[in-house]
Each structure stands twice: as structure tokens, then as C-alpha cells.
Structure 1
Amino acid sequence: MTTTRLTAGDAELTVAPDNGCRIESLRVGGTELLRQGAKYGCFPMVPFCGRIENGRFRNGGSLHQMPLNAPPHASHGTGRNVPWRTVAAEERRGSFDYELTDPWPYEGKVTQTFELAEDGGSLSLFMGVETAGDSFPAQAGWHPWFLRNLGHGGDVELAFDAEWQEERGADHLPTGKRIAPLPGPWDDCFGMPAGVDVTLTWPGALELKVTSRTEWVVVYDEQDEAVCVEPQTGPPNGLNTLPRFVTPIEPLELTATWTWRRLG
């Protein structure tokens, strides 16, 4: 499998375009921050994020059915399941794209760019969705699997200040009710109108901040091996409940930044 390696300072990022253009590895000072494995790392969620109820969504009068890869729902988009094209690969920056195709019913293009800061202290992420014709609802986001423990220091601690939490029903979909944020463990979507701002701290090892101008983030920490902090352009099932349309004159764009510093 072909990979693209970006380096700056003591940071090393490896992207696997053939495996859904996921970040396969992020190493800082030789320490791996992401869970390893073909399904892990950090994958793009596009053209939708999280679960779609029963895999169905409407665009005007048209009803579309997505494969039920998380029965009874569809989950996390289709972009992670297809090879992407490498557009540019430089020392600190890589750009990739792919053409939307079946089972997604609309033509368009998705672009993803990663860039390490010159000092190796941060990573900038960009994703864009364009239509090649008809307008359609879409979402974009990232699903990183940060290791719970880096092999030294303590287990990761999560800190964030959300304005609300989407109440989660028994079907794991938002009920439409916003509630005060509850203590974890979480597999939940939170609202941050001022922008996503979540801090992961591995005591005695590293602090990493995930920030984005989008107001939605899913936090998942129910596994022993890893935790997930997922900035995205809308809540789960958002194609149905809060559609954001990609039009010929207005693409869907999302940016995020991971910034880290060593502790101790």
C-alpha cells in the first residue's frame, strides 16, 4: 500500500490514500498518538458523519438508501472505503481527492489536505466537498482514534466546555432534544457555538488540543484502547435533521487544527 509521509521538527505524519485517505500514524518525538490498524488512525467522515437513521435521507422529493454498515443504520460516510488520488506531496503538506461515486447518488469531488507547522508543533486539516451538478445535502468530519495511553505517563484525560449535549436515544441517534452536558463515558454529540475546543492530556507526557470553527463534536471514550474527538459539520443523522446543502456556488468546507506540547 502506498503511503505519504510528512515531517516537520520531531513530528511525523503518515497518510494512506489507498485506505480511505486516513491518517495512518502521527508520531511526536517518536511516540505514536493514534491507535494502529487498518480501521483506525484518523479517517474522514464524508459525505456524512455518524449514523443516518435506517440509512435513508431525502433531497427534495428523492429518497436515497445508503448501505447499512452499522445495522439498522448507515454510518460514517463512504469516503473511508475508497482510494483517494494524491494531488500533491511535499515535505510538510499533502493534498488528496476522490470523485464521489456509488453508493453516493450525486456526482462531486472531495478534497482533503494535511499540513504540519514548520516547527512540528501542530497539524492543520482541511476537507472540502463540491458538486459536479445537482445540489445535495452533505456532512464532513474527522474520526481520530487517539491512544488512551502513550506507553508512559497516565491515561488520557478529556476536557471541554460544551453549551449543550444532544440527547441520545436508545437507537444511538439524537432525539432532537438538547440537554445539559452529562459526565462520561460518552458516545455523544456536543454543541460548541464558539467553535470546537477539546483538550486531551496524557499526564506527564503530552497535551493535544483539537480546535475547529465548526460547532459540532462527537466524543467517544467507551473503548479501553482509544478515545475519539470528532469535529464535524453537523450532528449524527444531520442529513435528515439539519441538512447543509452543497451547491454549484457553495461547497462544504471544514478545517481543524491539532496542536500539541510535551509535558514534564
Structure 2
Amino acid sequence: MNHSLLTLASGPLVLDLVPTLGGAVANFTHDGTPLFRPPPAEGLVAARSLGCYPLVPFSNRIKEGRFRYGGVRYQAGPVGPIDPLHAIHGDGFRHPWQVVASGPKAATLVYQHDGAEGWPFSYRAIQHFDLSDTGLTVRMTLTNEDIRAFPAGLGLHPFFPKAGATLTTYAPTFWKSDETRLPLLEMPVPPAWDFAGGRVMAEIELDNCFAGWSRRAIVRWRDKGLSLTMTADPIFGKVVIYSPMGQDFFCAEPVTHLNNAINLRAAGVSDSGVVDLSPGESLSGAVLFAVEED
């Protein structure tokens, strides 16, 4: 399938969207310098290889893709190929989105899910992109269009170029994971993972969810003279920091809930972040990416 770009531009900033490829961001640049990871050499192949994609109606993993809700057992979605054991990142990035409005500096994309495959409930997801001379705002909205209530969540999965980058943010606790990357135990953040004073990301190997997040993170590339400040609405109370060794990117993902949150809540975790959406109800939040020249 050939995928066409939808391009927004404002001052030095350019945003390339790929609606038919998971509603993903292909490029986000400042005077040609990438702020998100650029597409790979093979081009527009998969949303998860691009610069940013939506996490809807849940973030990260659900153990074996299974959960119980309202006394009923459900399968949350496909297991593999990204993770051979668990369902991951929801439906949105796997399917085409429809452009319902667009202009030189703004666009609205919609994904309609019927519940037949993947997430077992029907819903409508919206991404609204608003570009200015100084930044990008992404607003996500999830609406329950099923006849049943369901547990819900949202998130964004931006990938930042790692070379020369530092990350500054604050979260007092993190969730230690098992060998399959499922959360086991909430613990105080150790000094090696304390980003309050800024950390060089080339030195960090990490894939964990942090709680009590300040909802603000600064990515700075001193060699490029640029910084990107990510500020999230209050619903995004957690952040997943993913920094694999040997890769040229890292992620700081604003999310509404913990990894495997539905099952953690069932096990008694009170601050999982899961939101129960009744039919017709919506969950909505925005993330601002503000760009500055240092």
C-alpha cells in the first residue's frame, strides 16, 4: 500500500503525518533538523518505525492480552509480532485513520473501531494536530461507542533522536519489571534513573513506567542548539521511558495509566490510572511539544 503524507507547516516547523499508517507522525522538524526520529531507509512501512504514533485504547502491555472486566473475561488484542507474549499499545497504530479536517497548520484524524478484532469494544478515537511557529499540540480523544462500559487509556509514543540528547524530567517512583517487561513492584527511583538534573540518554538502558510524573520533560540537543519541552495535561500521570542500547532513539511516552494497568487494578493497585468509560463518555487530553533554540 502506498501511503501519502499530509504536511503541516508553520515558520521553521514542519509536520508530516501518515493518516493511512496508524495515524502516525513521519517527520517533525525544525529548519530541517529532526525533532522526532525520521523514517527508516525503507520508508513508510510501519507506524512503529516512525516518529510518533497514538496509543489507544491502552498503552504498553496487557498480560497475555487477557483481562477480566465486569465479571467477563476478554482478549484485549493480538499477541505478537511486537511482543510474542503480551498485547501491546492498542489498536490505533495498526489501522488507517481518516482525515476529517485539514488546513495549512492543523489536521484532525479519526479512527473508528468496531470491536470485531483487537479491542473487544467499539470506540471512536480522534487525534487533532495543531502546529504553530513554536510548537506542536496533539489532542487525543477516545469515546466509548459500545453498549457496555470499558476500561480505557490513552498515550503518545514519540521517538527522539538519541545522539547528543539529554532528558530532564521528574518522577519519584518507577515500576520494576519482570523478564517479560510486565510491572512487578513500585519502587523509589534510583540515582541512575533520576532525570531531575538531566541525563545523557546515550548512557541509559531502560524500559519502565514512572509514576507521580511532573507531566513535563525537556529533551535538549546542545550540539544542535535546540530543545523540545513536552508538557502534558493532568490525565497523563505516568511516563514510560524506553531507551534501548544500540539504537539511535529513545522514548518518553506520556500515558494515562501503568503498564498492564487493568490487571494491576484487579490485583488491588489503586493508582493504576485506568478510566472506566460508560457508553457515550469520552477521555481526552493534550500534549504540547514546544521548540526553543538554545
After superposing the two structures, state which structure 1 stretch, 156-165 or 13-22, moved more. Answer: 156-165
The residue type paired with residue 258 of structure 1 is F
The residue type paired with residue 236 of structure 1 is N
1:211 alignment counterpart? 231
CA distance in 2, matches of 1:24, 1:50: 21
- Within a 5 Å distance, the mapping from 1:15-164 to structure 2 comes to 15-35=17-37, 36-37=39-40, 38=46, 39-65=49-75, 66-69=77-80, 70-101=83-114, 102-117=117-132, 120-132=133-145, 133-149=147-163, 155-164=164-173
1:260 alignment counterpart? 291
| Contact 2:35–2:228 (8 Å) recurs in 1 | no
CA distance in 2, matches of 1:127, 1:178: 30
CA distance in 1, matches of 2:85, 2:141: 28
CA distance in 1, matches of 2:288, 2:4: 25
- 3-state secondary structure, aligned to 2:20: helix
The residue type paired with residue 263 of structure 2 is N
- 3-state secondary structure, aligned to 1:103: coil
- Within a 5 Å distance, the mapping from 1:206-245 to structure 2 comes to 206-213=226-233, 214-223=236-245, 224-241=247-264, 242=272, 243-245=274-276
Moved over 6 A (4+): none
Q: When the two structures are superposed, what TM-score results if normalisation uses the length of structure 2?
A: 0.82
| Contact 1:43–1:143 (8 Å) recurs in 2 | yes
Compute the displacement of 1:182 (Å): 4.8
CA distance in 1, matches of 2:63, 2:244: 22
CA distance in 2, matches of 1:134, 1:216: 27
CA distance in 2, matches of 1:21, 1:86: 9
Cα distance per residue 1:137-195 (max 9 Å; x no partner): 1211011111113xxxxx101111212112222221111423334524221111235x4
Cα distance per residue 1:171-223 (max 9 Å; x no partner): 21111423334524221111235x41111111132111111122100011114
CA distance in 2, matches of 1:182, 1:63: 40
The residue type paired with residue 208 of structure 1 is L
The residue type paired with residue 27 of structure 2 is S
Compute the displacement of 1:249 (Å): 5.0
CA distance in 2, matches of 1:240, 1:116: 37
- 3-state secondary structure, aligned to 2:263: helix
CA distance in 1, matches of 2:79, 2:26: 25
Q: When the two structures are superposed, what TM-score results if normalisation uses the length of structure 1?
A: 0.91
1:3 alignment counterpart? 5
After superposing the two structures, state which structure 1 stretch, 158-167 or 83-92, moved more. Answer: 158-167
1:198 alignment counterpart? 217
| Contact 1:233–1:254 (8 Å) recurs in 2 | no
CA distance in 1, matches of 2:84, 2:130: 36
- 3-state secondary structure, aligned to 1:18: coil
Runs of 5+ consecutive residues of structure 2 not aligned to the other structure: 41-45, 193-203, 265-271
- 3-state secondary structure, aligned to 1:19: coil
Identity value in percent: 29
The residue type paired with residue 215 of structure 1 is G
CA distance in 1, matches of 2:101, 2:223: 37
The count of aligned residue pairs is 255
1:152 alignment counterpart? none
Compute the displacement of 1:125 (Å): 0.7
CA RMSD of aligned residues (A): 1.5
After superposing the two structures, state which structure 1 stretch, 26-35 or 4-13, moved more. Answer: 26-35
Q: Specify whether residues 52 and 200 from structure 1 end up closer, same or farther in structure 2 by C-alpha distance, changes over 3 A only.
A: same
Q: Specify whether residues 254 and 181 from structure 1 end up closer, same or farther in structure 2 by C-alpha distance, changes over 3 A only.
A: farther
Q: Specify whether residues 201 and 99 from structure 1 end up closer, same or farther in structure 2 by C-alpha distance, changes over 3 A only.
A: same
The residue type paired with residue 20 of structure 1 is G
| Contact 2:36–2:159 (8 Å) recurs in 1 | yes
The residue type paired with residue 211 of structure 2 is G
1:175 alignment counterpart? 184
